[in-house]
Amino acid sequence: MSTFHFEYQKKPDDVKMRLEDWRRIARYLVPEWRPTLQLLFCIVAAAVLVVIPGLLTREVIDTAIPGHDFPRLCLLVAGMILAPLAASLLGVWQSYIATRLGQDVMFDIRNQMYDRLLRQSLRFYTNTRSAEALSRLQSDVGGIQSVVSGTVVNLASNVLTVVATAVVIFHLDWRLALVALAILPIFILPTRKVGRARGQIAGRAQEGIADFSSYVQERLSIGGFLLMRLFGAQDVERATFRRKAGAMRDLAIEQSSLGRWFLMFLMSFASIGPALIYLVGGWEAISGAITTGTVVAFVTFLGRLYAPASALVNAQVDLISATALFRRIFGYLDLPVEVDEPLVPVAIADACGALCFKSVSLAYDSAAARFALDDISFEVPAGKMVALVGPSGAGKTSVTYLATRLYDPTAGSITFDGVDLRAIDLKTLARWTASVTQEAIFFNATVKDSLLYAKPDATDEEIESACQLAQVHEVIAALPEGLMTFIGEKGYKLSGGERQRLALARIALRDPKLIILDEATSSLDSRSEAQISDALKILLQGRSSLVIAHRLSTIIRADLILVMDNGRIVDRGTHAELLSRQGLYEKLYREQFMTHASVE
Ligand SMILES: Nc1ncnc2c1ncn2[C@@H]1O[C@H](COP(=O)(O)OP(=O)(O)OP(=O)(O)O)[C@@H](O)[C@H]1O
């Protein structure tokens, strides 16, 4: 510990400390009462040990030396060595317990936060930058360690050290004690000013680092890289990177140089404190009011008071910063769960796959002028195919979001096998339904693990037949390590068509009863296209399906076509019926499907 405490933080502007925040923080410590008590013991014992060397010094000067008592001198010196040694040993134990305690609280909160994030709806992820959620989970939760083992422990230990020292020095001589305490602010207050300036720079540096990380994270992803390369924006990105990295460098230099001169002067002037004690104490000793040993002991005590007293000056700001940190964390732990699990779920042992929308409306934003979906009603009977068609922005994707309960409807109800989606637990719903998105989504894992994500207990035979069905088995066999080959971030080591077929194999493994398919608009080569189309035909057989259709072959096969426009179903029927009405469908047919048909 340095003589002066210098690590002042910038006070968060809009945060007030509330007792309920600290009650909530304390609740995390209740299950950890054993280490908490051990920690308290360490802090009290260390505060007591701090005053012992001063008292022993006084005894050495006042009794052992004048009394020519060598054995007593040895005893006192042994005490002088042992007390700090014991304090250091306690310090090691204390820091171990504090770290464990902090890490245990962090572990609990991190798990709770991850669970809360997993329970959020798609709305949360479309409205939140992924870097922000990551920063809450990593940096903010990581900061708990320093609040528990730093802020809280230091506060308790500094208060106790100052109180213990003050009690002892007042007991020794109250006049000299008053002088010692009066000197302290002269040294402490200026350090606070410099410390605050450093805190402000530290705050700016932290913001800079967060901004830099989210910039780099976005640019160094596959999507970011592609965007940069395809727009030839290397120079712009290089310049932005230099600017952001340069700002971080400048702040780091500024932060480390600020206050160095000031600290140097302060250290030099630190000797003024003891000098004043010698002056007043010496004068009292000359007049016989106190002993020489008491004067020397006072100087020792004064030296030990600087660090805890200067840290305490800023205790309020430290606590407010800790409160702000916890409030950010609690904000995430308390995120409302919009799409929640039912309290008493309805079990669906064997689904048949019927889906029904009844007067369903959806507003993405309560302030939005119009509904994204407005009074939608339709049925997908078991085993039938319903196609959604409509111009861009009509609301087709929104219908599929509702069918998989990525959102809940603002009004109306949706049932699966006659049960309201809100009464089915999310795992059961995911068991019986499957979505095939335009862009297949994968983690960076092996082919086998990617498939097992759909059914962790699948046998090798099941995996093999799912891959056969999706016509991807030959591709896998040709990979360097077969099923154990890593497919790269987002599966980018596979071609677009291979990724699609692997996604279909994953769904075949799951064996759902309702398939929600967003047909790819981008054309793959004709062989790949045919393979996917064959795999899909087999997969859709005997299952219900809701398809955002882009191909003529699909709409012709559909049992019912829903024509959407502006969030509403404006027409419905079979291909022939709709064509004969010469409405929006006929227009779409001419503009979209006939062009696709010529490609097919
Ligand atoms: N997360 C969101 N937040 C706010 N509005 C959204 C969101 N997602 C979609 N919308 C809006 O809802 C409307 C319907 O969008 P949706 O994606 O369902 O249309 P779509 O028919 O699938 O279009 P496309 O064929 O172009 O994919 C659009 O006006 C869109 O801007």
Mean pLDDT of 135-158: 86
* pLDDT of res. 9: 53
Q: What are phi and psi of 166, to 5 degrees?
A: -60, -45
Rounded to two decimals, the ipTM of the complex is 0.96
- Ligand 1 atom, smallest distance to 399 CA: 18
Q: Are strands 544-548 and 514-518 parallel, antiparallel or unpaired?
A: parallel
Lowest mean pLDDT among 7-16, 167-176, 545-554: 7-16
Q: Residue 182 pLDDT more than 80?
A: yes
Helix (H, G, I), strand (E, B) or coil at 18: coil
- Ligand 1 atom, smallest distance to 127 CA: 1
Q: With cut-offs at 50, 70 and 90, classify the pLDDT of residue 183.
A: confident
Distance CA 301, CA 166 (A): 9
Q: Which residue has the tokens 């064997």?
A: 350
Question: C-alpha angle with apex 49: 70 to 153, nearest 5 degrees?
Answer: 165
How close is the Cα of 362 to the center of ligand 1, in Å? Answer: 11
Mean pLDDT of 40-51: 91
| pLDDT mean across residues, the chain | 85
How close is the Cα of 394 to the center of ligand 1, in Å? Answer: 7
Q: Residue 306 pLDDT more than 60?
A: yes
Of all residues in the chain, the percent with pLDDT exceeding 90 is 36
- Ligand 1 atom, smallest distance to 400 CA: 18
* pLDDT of res. 510: 87
- Ligand 1 atom, smallest distance to 126 CA: 1
How close is the Cα of 81 to the center of ligand 1, in Å? Answer: 74
* Residues contacting ligand 1 via CB (< 6 Å): 126, 364-365, 372, 390, 392-398
Mean pLDDT of 165-175: 90
Lowest mean pLDDT among 97-111, 345-359, 582-596: 582-596
Cα of 126 vs its chain's centroid, Å: 16
Q: With cut-offs at 50, 70 and 90, classify the pLDDT of residue 235.
A: very high
- Structural domains of the chain sorted by starting position, each given as residue range(s) with its CATH number in brackets: 18-172+306-338 (1.20.1560.10), 355-440+513-594 (3.40.50.300)
Nearest CA to ligand 1 atom 18: 395
Tokens of 144: 């708990």
Indicate the angle between helix axes 292-313 and 315-333, nearest 10 degrees: 30
Q: Residue 2 pLDDT more than 50?
A: no
What's the length of the chain? 600
Please, where are the H alpha helices in 345-408?
396-403
Nearest CA to ligand 1 atom 4: 364
How close is the Cα of 363 to the center of ligand 1, in Å? Answer: 11
Q: Residue 62 pLDDT more than 90?
A: yes
Q: With cut-offs at 50, 70 and 90, classify the pLDDT of residue 499.
A: confident
Q: With cut-offs at 50, 70 and 90, classify the pLDDT of residue 15.
A: low
- Ligand 1 atom, smallest distance to 390 CA: 21
Concatenated DSSP letters of 172-221: H-HHHHHHHHHHHHHHHHHHHHHHHHHHHHHHHHHHHHHHHHHHHHHHTS
Which has more confidence, 563 or 207?
A: 563
Q: With cut-offs at 50, 70 and 90, classify the pLDDT of residue 1.
A: very low
Q: Which residue type sits at 570?
A: V
Longest dimension (CA), the chain: 122
Q: What is the pTM of this model?
A: 0.78
Determine the number of helices (DSSP H) and then strands (DSSP E) in the chain. 25, 10
Q: Residue 380 pLDDT more than 90?
A: yes
Residue in 203, 190, 234, 569 with CA at minimum distance from that of residue 412: 569
